[in-house]
Copies of this chain bind each other. A is one copy, B any other.
Amino acid sequence: MYKAKVLIRRRASILDPQGKAVEKGALLLGLNNISNTRIDKYIEFTVDTDEEIAAKEEVTTYCKKLLANPIMEDFEFNLEKI
């Protein structure tokens, strides 16, 4: 069995309105040094197979078809045997 850890990030060229919004809140709290906030997704799940190549394929399909938006996000992942 593998544990997959996936990071899904908006491309740098694409604005992050949620990040901008919390940053405005930070200013109101007196946190004046914070900038460039980007809020991305970190996803963990288990893959119930002992074949690493099959696990990689399954994780890649999961990311491409469901977890990431291919128009504006990139993903990277690593697998850890458990």
Which residues of A pack against B, CB within 8 Å?
A: 7, 9, 19, 22-23, 25-26, 29, 31, 33-49, 55, 58, 61-62, 65-67
Contact = CB atoms under 8 A, between A and B. Distances in A.
Nearest to A29: B65
Contact of A26 (B22, B26, B31, B62): B62
14 contacts: A7-B42, A26-B62, A26-B66, A29-B61, A29-B65, A31-B61, A33-B49, A34-B47, A34-B62, A36-B46, A37-B43, A37-B44, A38-B44, A41-B41
Contacts of A23: 45
A35 B48 CA distance: 8
A41 B43 CA distance: 8
